[in-house]
Amino acid sequence: MAAATWVLGFGLAVVLAVATGNGQQQQQQHQVANSKQLHLWLDCSCLHFTERNATQWGRLAINGSQALGAKNNCLMVFIGGMDDELVAFQLERLQLRPGCLDSMDVFPYLREPVIENATLAADTFCQHSRNRSATPIYSAGRWLGLRLRFQQPPTDLTHWNLTLAASYRFLKRDNFRTDGRLVPHSFCDFYFFASLSGEEGNLGQGYFHSPQFPAHYPAHIKCAYKFIGRPGTHVEILFEELELPPVASGGCQLDALTLFDAESAFMSSVIDVLCSSRPTRRMMSSGPDLLLEFNASSNRTAKGFRGKYKFVPNEPGVPEPSPPPPAVLEAASVAVKQEKLQQEQAVPPKANSLPTDVELSKPGRSFEQCKQTFDSRVNKSGTFDSNQLLMAKHALGAVLIGGSRVLQCRYEFEAQPPERVQIRFHDFNVPTEHENSTGCQPGDALHVVSEVRGRYETQELLCGAFLPKPLMSSGSQMHLQFVGKYPPAMTNKVQYYGFRAEYRFLTNFGIMSGVQLEDCSFVYNSSERISGLFHSPNFPGFYLENVVCNYYFYGASDERIVLHFTYFDIEGIGNCDHQTASDYIEFSNFMSTDRKFSRYCGKLPDFEMRSDGRFFRVTLHSNDRFVAIGFRALFTFETIPVNNSDLRDNASMQSFVSTASTQPVVNTTKLIFYIICIYKTYQ
């Protein structure tokens, strides 16, 4: 009997232990699930506004009493219209606490009322007090979202003067529809055709817009609007709205509209180049066709443009209108008169070891030559192209060789230390050796050259129909030389020949995010922005040789840093050490080396890194051997709940792969049944 009692007691103890273990396991699974949810989005209190009056207007007002007690000190506001509507948000009053204790993010590109941690805000208001904003914020779809975050919110409302007052309006999306035919498989290329049968004097008219208008257009896009008329007609264009990023200095630098007096982008047929708001004026083509190209190359965006087009028949007996003279794209420190004077004086150029120069310098052969110098003391940015050289081909009277005229031009860039030169291409098409080939012909290519003992040596050849990656100088000088032929022997179906590019003299290595400390060191504070992008120098071009770039991330005491690398290609192999002559990325929770992390190099798929504390450092080391594209990553400062101590202690390199248990769950009911059976047997 004593043995049976002992068996029963022991069995019940085992059941209790198992049940307790299962409960703890389920609690841990629940915590991991919550952690995974926090990793994706922050659980906030939500407010939805859909009300409107007879004029489609609505109002919202938020103060400290509504924000007090908000879940996770966060309040999300969603303004939603119908499926065929957009939202116009007009900020009237915003009062936040100083020191970025309160912040407001604006999300105009939502497809549904969800804001994830990885969702980038279009605008952030922090440490800010402002009255009515002159420019409304427009959504790209039916939803517009706001996220208000509060650090250490006061418990007494008398010390919290939080105020958000705004109005919103719902607009019909059809009012901003482009009346053209979208080219299949394109993002923003449209055809506009004149009608075959219409009212007299009206062969077709309508509107065209920048992508997502009236919301900001996306960055780094290129759009073409082709207007195809009938014989005996011309095209009239009128811009009702035009808003592009402001130009820092003279000339169109990054985002611009180019109008061509033809169906194709021949640089000799440029009507005008628009890059800033100007008085409304009507522009027209000389013939039935017109092409409008929109290049958005900067990281900044704007509202864009809204234009009206009309196909108009030419008046009988009146000659066709002649377009204004071609607009020459401004290039800093290029004095055309000085160049012509130098050519007249026949100033001998520096010795050049390019094969084309040696071949063309033989007796009886002459070639057209020019040199353009760009000095950062004159302008910090501008554009340059091969169009000027092609337009001057007749004036210089060169000798025809094999039916083609040989052209050459050297472009020299002079920066002031510690500046560097960065080149970004907007248009590029130089024939390759033959169709379906990637090889370049030295006699028809853009040469990246360096000067060695008074002679220019080619470092790289650029050709083809694809835009080359951005170029950046390793020092204060960069030299390019274009060698071409006219007319060109094209090996592809692109009709444009030559190139068009922008140059910038930079001290930030092409890294636009963060605050630069000195040389290649950048700081990212959560008090200024809780998420964003950072990348290697000159990305998506090759990073520089012999450079050390530091990225410092500082969060609040309850925040951790999460880095998600979407592209990673660092020249190196193996352990990424000096024995393999590898470049590498170093991660650390300290200013000094962190033994927890190994070096990273090579080409890697997407991966994620997490800090242990409120500070994290990323450092790129490159040597003088080889270089690669580099990296691009998204940083996020995540708030770790105070009661979630396991995440606070083990936040680095966590991987939420699965929340399912890998251990079998014991059925306690069956176990108790078996114990009772054993007990009866002993009895």
What CATH number is given for 45-174 in this structure?
A: 2.60.120.290
- Domain 177-313 identical in fold to domain 515-649: yes
User: What amino acid occupies position 615?
Assistant: F
Asked if 293 and 260 touch (Cβ cutoff 8 Å), the reply is: yes
Buried b or exposed e, range 100-129, using 16+ CB within 10 angstroms: bbbbbbbbbbbeebebebeeebbebbbeee
**H or E stretch including 313?**
strand 304-313
The answer for residues whose C-beta is within 8 angstroms of residue 111's C-beta and 6 or more apart is 141, 143
- CA neighbor of 303 nearest in space, from 125, 84, 164, 108: 108
Residue 211, pLDDT above cutoff 70: yes
**Cα-based distances in Å from 639 to 35, 279, 515, 642, 653:** 11, 49, 22, 9, 16
Residue 354, pLDDT above cutoff 60: no
Residue 642, pLDDT above cutoff 70: no
Which pLDDT does position 255 carry in this prediction? 85
Return d(Cα 248, Cα 432) in angstroms, integer: 36
Taking only the tens place, the pLDDT of each residue in 108-122 is: 999 899 888 778 888
pTM of the model: 0.47
> In the CATH hierarchy, which fold is given to the domain comprising 177-313?
Jelly Rolls (2.60.120)
The answer for residues whose C-beta is within 8 angstroms of residue 469's C-beta and 6 or more apart is 540, 541, 542, 629
Which pLDDT does position 598 carry in this prediction? 92
> In the CATH hierarchy, which fold is given to the domain comprising 336-506?
Jelly Rolls (2.60.120)
Residue 479, pLDDT above cutoff 90: yes
Asked if 675 and 12 touch (Cβ cutoff 8 Å), the reply is: yes
Return d(Cα 409, Cα 367) in angstroms, integer: 10
Mean residue pLDDT across the chain: 78
What CATH number is given for 515-649 in this structure?
A: 2.60.120.290
Taking only the tens place, the pLDDT of each residue in 361-405 is: 333 333 445 788 999 988 888 888 887 666 654 334 444 555 667
pLDDT band at 455 (very low <50, low <70, confident <90, very high): confident
Parse the chain into domains and list their residue ranges. Answer: 2-40+662-682, 45-174, 177-313, 336-506, 515-649
- CA neighbor of 567 nearest in space, from 529, 533, 516, 612: 533
pLDDT band at 667 (very low <50, low <70, confident <90, very high): low
**Residues counted in the chain:** 683
- CA neighbor of 329 nearest in space, from 377, 246, 397, 391: 391
- In this structure, how many other beta carbons lie within 10 angstroms of the beta carbon of residue 391? 13
Which pLDDT does position 1 carry in this prediction? 57
Taking only the tens place, the pLDDT of each residue in 568-598 is: 999 999 889 888 889 999 999 999 999 899 9
DSSP letter for each residue of 436-463: T--PPBTTBEEEEEEEETTEEEEEEEE-
Q: Which two tokens stand for residue 590?
A: 């300290």
Lowest mean pLDDT among 192-206, 436-450, 669-683: 669-683
- The shares of helix, strand and coil residues in the chain, as percent rounded to the nearest 5, are 15, 40, 45
